Amino acid sequence: MRPDDRVRRPPAAERIKRFLLLTGTLGRSRYLLIGVLFMIAKYALDSAVAHGFGRPWSPYHYLVWFDRSSALGADLLHGDRRFGLIMLGIALPFIWIGVTLTLQRLRDAQLPLRAVILFFLPMVNLLMFVGLCLAPSRPLDSSPPPETALARRAREAHQKVIGENDLAAFLLACVVSAVFTVGFVILSVFVLRSYGFGAFVAAPFVQGLLAAGLYGIRRRRTVRQCFWVAVASLATSGVALLVFAIEGVICLLMASPIAFALAALGGRVGYALQCRPWANDSAPAMMLALVVVMPSLLAAESATAPDPAIREVRTEVVVNAPPERVWANVIAFPPLAEPTELLFRTGIAYPKRAEIRGRGVGAVRYCVFSTGAFVEPIDAWDEPHRLAFRVTDQPPPMKELSPFDIHAPHLDNFLVSRRGQFRLERLPDGRTLLEGTTWYTNRMWPAAYWNLWSDAIIHRIHRRVLDHVRTLAEAGPGHS
């Protein structure tokens, strides 16, 4: 054999890249098979470790892969820290494998490699997995494939409805994608009773993708056009939810920052599909698959969602009065003036007065809010240092700002106050450090986002009560 006939080995750097899965391509059937096998393997490992620590484990943890145990492992208690670090150690190689396999699949389908960032978005990563399992392989030198029957019928139907009118195409994309999103929200909220990643993350992303894909189904659109159709479609959904008395203005405004960002991201993915001839030909099938898969993801999330963690919000003020005088205004206080803050004037419940029946442990305190009364049986009565209570009944956390009289499901049993406490500490100069604490749970997901809102609102409620108590105590006994 002549030396020229030998098969040349690739350079060492190339061999290392191949070994680490940094190069190469992966067809959709192998991607599906390997992905499912690794999902099963990881679930088996995680379930075994969780069982060893006596902890529950469910598929929900794969919808929300990044949790407090992963992020703050060094700050947790010893048992929690060990569990969190072990689970993180197991997750890291699977994350690496998932990312590199996804890069190979994107490369094989000639889709933008930067789309791998979607791997880290809960719920969206599962939708991306479905899409990549449907996207055909495209060699670099291949010509666009013949048009599929589904793509041809979709374009013919589009032509019949709007013709060549660009404005009509824009409006059609907004309306059709909005219909699907409103349907997803109704299914999640009213049927499954779930305000989760499906409603707040996956649905806006899918809407942006659908809007951009529909807008570009017959004619290639620019990135800017895909962005605006995605944003306009989400705004259309918001108007529909308001007009049909499904949600109120305040909740829509709270959800809008994360929803618009995800819709714009979905629009960017839709642009990537419609600007490539081979991807655009497969886009109708991929969009249809996403619409079909979404209800299953919503149902899976609702069925497997764990109980929310109890959160603590603590606020304190310094009162220029001794604890004995402050105490009398803590256990009960006369009506407050109507609030001037915009937050409370938009419908968020605010405290009005507090009453108490009885004294000592077993007494019942009633903190009356603008939407009703919190019922607070007293569990600790250490006069004048500490008053602690649990919450056995509570009113809605807000009154929806809407043209209609609506009562959205999230007003019941989603933001739940569990217990509270007032602590009074005598300072050396005779003043009092007054501290109010609330422990609550919030079943709105993604928790990291919605807890920002709930923590801030509870702090404002605390400040309203504590400032009122301070004013009464500093004014003297005759003003209590």
Q: Domains along the chain?
A: 12-304 (no CATH), 311-479 (3.30.530.20)
pLDDT tens by residue, 126-183: 888 888 888 878 765 555 556 667 667 777 777 778 877 889 999 999 999 999 999 9
Structure token digits, residue 430: 């005779």
Q: Token pair of 424, please?
A: 């009074």
Distance of alpha carbon 174 from alpha carbon 232, whole angstroms: 6
Strand order in the sheet with 364-369: 311-319, 432-442, 415-426, 386-390, 372-382, 364-369, 351-357
Burial code (b: 16+ CB inside 10 Å, e: under 16) for 57-76 equals: bbebbbbbbebebeeebeee
Give the pLDDT score at 426.
Answer: 94
Q: What confidence category does residue 80 fall into, taking pLDDT thresholds of 50, 70 and 90?
A: low
Q: What b/e readout covers 189-198, taking b as 16+ CB neighbours within 10 angstroms?
A: beebebbbbb
The arithmetic mean of pLDDT across residues 224-234, rounded, is 95
pLDDT at position 476, please? 73
CA dist 450 and 254 (Å) reads 8
- Residues 203-219 pLDDT 10s: 999 999 999 988 988 88
For the chain, give the percent of residues with pLDDT over 90: 38
As given in the structure block, the two tokens for residue 353 are 């007065």
- Please tell me which residue, 80 or 439, carries the higher pLDDT value: 439
Answer for the pair 364, 357: CB distance below 8 angstroms, yes or no. yes
* Percent share of the chain, pLDDT over 70: 86
pLDDT value for 170: 94
Please list the residues that pair with 314 across neighbouring strands: 437
Would you place residue 357 in the very low, low, confident or very high pLDDT band (cuts 50, 70, 90)? Answer: very high
Most confident of 94-103, 115-124, 339-348, 372-381: 372-381
238-295 pLDDT, tens digit per residue, is: 999 888 877 888 888 889 999 999 999 999 988 888 776 655 567 777 788 888 888 8
HEC string for 383-446: CCCEEEEECCECCCCECCCCCCCCCCHHHCCCEEEEEEEEEEEECCCCCEEEEEEEEEEECCCC
The residues pairing with 425 across neighbouring beta strands, listed in sequence order, are 433
pLDDT classification of 457: cutoffs 50, 70, 90:
very high
Residues 243, 247, 252, 254: what is their CA dihedral angle, to the nearest 10 degrees?
A: 160
Question: How many Å apart are CA 217 and CA 283, to the nearest integer?
Answer: 8
Residue 72 pLDDT greater than 50, yes or no: no
Q: Is the pLDDT of residue 34 over 80?
A: yes
The whole-number pLDDT of residue 76 equals 47
- b (16+ CB within 10 A) / e for 217-252: bbeebeeebbbbbbbbbbbbbbebbbeeebbbebbb
According to the model, what pLDDT value does residue 342 have? 86
Distance between CA atoms of residues 480 and 471, nearest Å? 9
Q: What is the pLDDT of residue 144?
A: 59
Amino acid residing at 137: S
Q: What is the DSSP string of 155-170?
A: HHHHHHHHTT-HHHHH
Which pLDDT band holds residue 71 (cuts at 50, 70, 90)?
A: very low
Q: For residue 472, what pLDDT band results from cuts at 50, 70 and 90?
A: very high
The whole-number pLDDT of residue 7 equals 47
Describe the crossing of helices 277-304 and 149-162 by its angle, rounded to 10 degrees.
90
Q: Where is mean pLDDT largest: 57-71, 73-87, 264-278, 326-340?
A: 326-340
How high is the pLDDT of residue 154? 75
- Please state the rounded mean pLDDT for residues 390-394: 95
Q: Taking 50 as the threshold, does the pLDDT of residue 73 lie above it? A: no
Q: Map tokens 């291949």 to a residue.
A: 142
Q: Is the pLDDT of residue 19 over 70?
A: no
Q: Which residues of 337-362 are buried (b: 16+ CB within 10 A; e: fewer)?
A: eebeeeebeebbbbbbebebeeeeee
* Distance from C-alpha of 23 to C-alpha of 106, rounded to nearest angstrom: 11
